[in-house]
A and B are shown apart, each in its own frame.
Chain A
């Protein structure tokens, strides 16, 4: 398997069959549609973040994690830096968070991206279904704008 060394890695998480939980994959698809294919940009969408993603992260110059949040108010966007942090029982099969994956990259590969950011949207409903709640739908334009600005800023300037 060839390892890529993208300037920017987008890592989305969510289940598209569980309502607002699917917002991460939806935004990842939006980014894929709006940015031309480039070796400098790698977009991965996963139902779960699992430990082997640490290897993808370690090869990237910057990483943007995208997920929904059950701790935030429905539709509330949070856009924050993420720092490596290991915690007990936090990396197993379903429970790997952004901070834990960064910590795993640091501990196993001794390298983390120079920039790590996380964008989350508060979930209104994660019941079974493919649609988004009204609050998450309303938040999508701002989330897309943030992603566009961030990718443009993080991608290396063309030579």
Chain B
């Protein structure tokens, strides 16, 4: 008699999801799935809107990474307009995108994952939260808050709002940077370094104690995708996509947004609303790959900033080829956040950063446009079609969680096989299965304002649908 274990909802994620673990008649794990149980529909209800409204509409998809959608959408609109935005506007957007990356990575590491990392996977769930972190390592609690504040305050200074800023528009940005704002951001940089390094140092001290988790947290060969510059350094806002194979060989390079749909496909499974994204020439599921911090560090040769470059050298020593275990997403996230701070500092010293020319204008010059950027969680792609009047007739978004969907499901199965034995589970074991998903930091949706506490319910159900056992916390 087969049985099913359900973790519903999975906690400390952006959005709502659940995990089911299918047991065979011997009580061993046979299959496992990560389900995204909410449906949004932004692609459909944007039809009929003027294209220039799309950035502000699309930013509403997410309360954590609205900047990613804002910029990807603006780039798709600029492809429709056939314009190249001014240098200063591009630099300001790059800074905005990096500020969001820093605050999002801080949220993921310090607020969502550090309870597991600092207090232990088996620690009391009542204390395995930010209060527990505040008690055990108040310095890291403060560092996390400080780093979030750094990123959010930059977003607020540039966009005049910390969530859903409307400053990025098709053609550039609405307002140049003032000297006062530049000086204010520069003044925050030293504290940001201190806070980031506190997290990085703490992570390095404890990472070696998680060897069993590293072994089974989505630890398998895969392909990796991400944006890269011509000099093979990391890129978040411009650049072209590179796909590498499990050994680090380039499968395809220089994928522009206009070619994205030609090489990237989306498959559907009946147990989740999230699509499964794959590289078309290899087919589905063989063409599946991972995106986000770990793949970005796997595909690049350098970070392009001095301190992050030193950290990249150390990171790449984890493995001879691409780093495989998704546990190392945590490490990669901190290296990227360090890069973000350095790059913001560099951008602010650009002699043209206070230039007043920050917006190009044009109407509809093409009936289709696409934009791609690196969101904190991975590659984000927006593709729109318009009529001659500029009204949206079709839209498609490919988000990071879709790219990682196959790897997340494989990771859940791998960890479930390691931790669920003979149909029995413990709270610590199930926390590890959830923690695999948290390494990817998926953003299922965060634009809705949720009420109340999100419970965790795990049910063991037999093949006849009868509840055999249940764990609630």
Interface size class of A (residues with CB under 8 A): 20 to 34
- 1/0 per residue, CB under 8 A from B, across A52-93: the answer is 101100000000000000100000000000000011111111
A152 at the B interface (CB under 8 A): no
Within 8 Å of chain B (Cβ to Cβ): is A111? Answer: no
Q: Which residues of A contact B148 (CB under 8 A)?
A: 50-52
Chain A residues with Cβ below 8 Å from B446 are 93-94
Assess whether A29 is interfacial by the CB under 8 Å rule. Answer: no
Q: Is B363 an interface residue when CB atoms closer than 8 A count as contact?
A: no
Q: State how many angstroms separate the Cβ of B131 from the closest Cβ of chain A.
A: 4
Contact: B111 with A92, CB < 8 Å? Answer: yes
On chain B, the residues within 8 Å of A11 by CB distance are none
List the A side residues contacting B126 at CB < 8 Å. Answer: 88
Q: A8 on the interface (CB 8 Å rule)?
A: no
* A93 with B14: CB separation less than 8 A: yes
> Nearest Cβ distance between residue A22 and chain B, in whole angstroms?
9
B131 touching A93, Cβ below 8 Å: no
Kindly state the separation between the CA atoms of A61 and B184 in the bound complex, as whole angstroms.
26
| A51 contacts B130, C-beta separation under 8 Å | yes
Take A1-B149, A47-B63, A52-B149 as given contacts and tell me if A91 and B107 are in contact as well, using a CB distance cutoff of 8 Å. no
Does B145 contact A52, Cβ atoms closer than 8 Å?
yes
Which of B135, B141, B145, B453 contacts A87, CB < 8 Å? B453
Tell me, in angstroms, the Cα distance from A97 to B385 when the chains sit together: 42
* Inter-chain contact B449/A91, CB cutoff 8 Å: no
Q: Verify B130–A88 contact, CB threshold 8 A.
A: no
User: Which residues in A have their C-beta under 8 angstroms from that of B149?
Assistant: 1, 52, 55
B64 on the A face (CB < 8 A): yes
In this complex, what residue of A is CB-closest to B191? Answer: A1
Whether A70 lies near B141 (C-beta < 8 A) is no
The proximity string for B residues 225-269 relative to A, scoring 1 for CB distances below 8 Å and 0 otherwise, is 000000000000000000000000000000000000000000000
How large, as a class, is the contact surface on chain B?
Answer: 35 or more
Is the pair A91, B131 in contact by a Cβ cutoff of 8 Å?
Answer: yes
CA separation between A95 and B131, bound complex, in Å?
13
Interface residues of B in 139-158 (CB under 8 A from A): 141-142, 144-145, 148-150, 152-153
| Chain A residues, CB < 8 A from B163 | 46-48
Q: Which of A13-21, A130-138, A143-151 contacts B (4 or more CB under 8 A)?
A: A13-21
Asked whether any CB of chain A lies closer than 8 Å to the CB of B112, the reply is yes
Residue of B nearest to A109 (CB): B142
Could you tell me the distance between the alpha carbons of A147 and B141 in the complex, rounded to whole angstroms? Answer: 32
Say if the beta carbon of B282 comes within 8 Å of chain A: no
**A85 CA / B184 CA spacing, docked (Å):** 35
Residue A104 is within 8 A (CB to CB) of chain B in the complex: yes
> For the complex, what is the distance from the CA of A54 to the CA of B133, rounded to whole Å?
15
Residues from chain A with a CB closer than 8 A to the CB of B12 are 89, 92
**Chain A residues closer than 8 Å to B135, beta-carbon distance:** 107
Query: Is the pair A70, B452 in contact by a Cβ cutoff of 8 Å?
Result: yes
CB pair A88 B125 closer than 8 Å:
yes
Q: CB distance B454 to A93 under 8 Å?
A: no
Instruction: Tell me the residues in window 441-473 of chain B with beta carbons closer than 8 Å to chain A beta carbons.
Output: 446, 448-454, 456, 473
CB closest residue in chain A, given B128: A88
**Complex contact A48–B131 (CB within 8 A):** no
- Contact assessment for B450 and A94 in the assembled complex, using a CB-CB cutoff below 8 Å: yes
| Choice from B125, B131, B153 contacting A103 with Cβ under 8 Å | B131
B112 touches A93 (CB 8 A): yes
Q: Are B134 and A48 in contact (CB under 8 A)?
A: no
Q: Which residues does chain B contribute within 8 Å of A107, judged by CB atoms?
A: 131, 134-135, 138, 141
Per the bound structure, the CA–CA distance linking A108 and B111 in Å amounts to 14
* Known contacts A86-B131, A95-B454: A51-B449 contact under CB 8 Å: no
CB <8 Å contact, B153 and A95: no
CB-defined contacts of A91 to chain B, threshold 8 Å = 111, 129-131
Q: Contact partner of A89 among B138, B141, B450, B454, CB < 8 A?
A: B454
Instruction: Say how far B395's CB is from chain A's closest CB, in angstroms.
Output: 19
- Which residue of chain A has its CB nearest to the CB of B14? A93
Alpha-carbon distance between A17 and B135 when the two chains are bound, in angstroms: 37
Once A92-B112, A93-B112, A108-B138 are accepted as A-B contacts, the answer to whether A15 and B449 lie under 8 Å apart by CB is yes
CA A52 to CA B150, docked complex, whole Å: 10
A89 pairs with B453, CB closer than 8 A: yes
- How distant is B141 from chain A, measured CB to nearest CB, in Å? 5
Let me know if B4 is at the binding interface, CB within 8 A: no
Tell me, in angstroms, the Cα distance from A126 to B449 when the chains sit together. 10
Asked if B202 is an interface residue, CB under 8 A from chain A, the answer is no
User: How many angstroms between the C-alpha atoms of A28 and B453 in the bound complex?
Assistant: 25
Contact of B129 among A46, A47, A50, A89 (CB under 8 A): A89
Interfacial chain B residues near A15, Cβ < 8 Å: 448-449
In the complex, the answer to whether B453 meets A95 with C-beta atoms within 8 Å is yes
Using A55-B149, A93-B112 as known contacts, list a sample of 6 further A-B pairs with CB atoms less than 8 Å apart, ordered by residue number in A: A47-B164, A51-B130, A51-B144, A89-B129, A91-B129, A93-B64
Interface residues of B (CB under 8 A from A): 11-12, 14, 60, 63-64, 107, 111-112, 125-131, 134-135, 138, 141-142, 144-145, 148-150, 152-153, 163-164, 184, 187-188, 446, 448-454, 456, 473
Closest 5 pairs between A and B when the two form their complex, measured CB to CB: A15-B449, A86-B131, A107-B134, A88-B126, A52-B145
Chosen A-B contacts, 28 in total, with CB atoms closer than 8 Å, are A1-B149, A1-B184, A14-B449, A18-B449, A21-B449, A48-B63, A48-B163, A50-B148, A51-B111, A52-B149, A54-B145, A55-B145, A55-B149, A87-B453, A88-B128, A89-B125, A89-B454, A90-B129, A91-B129, A92-B11, A92-B129, A93-B111, A94-B63, A95-B454, A104-B131, A104-B134, A107-B141, A108-B141
Q: Hey, which bits of chain A sit against chain B, CB under 8 A?
A: 1, 14-15, 17-18, 21, 46-48, 50-52, 54-55, 70, 86-95, 100, 103-104, 107-108, 126
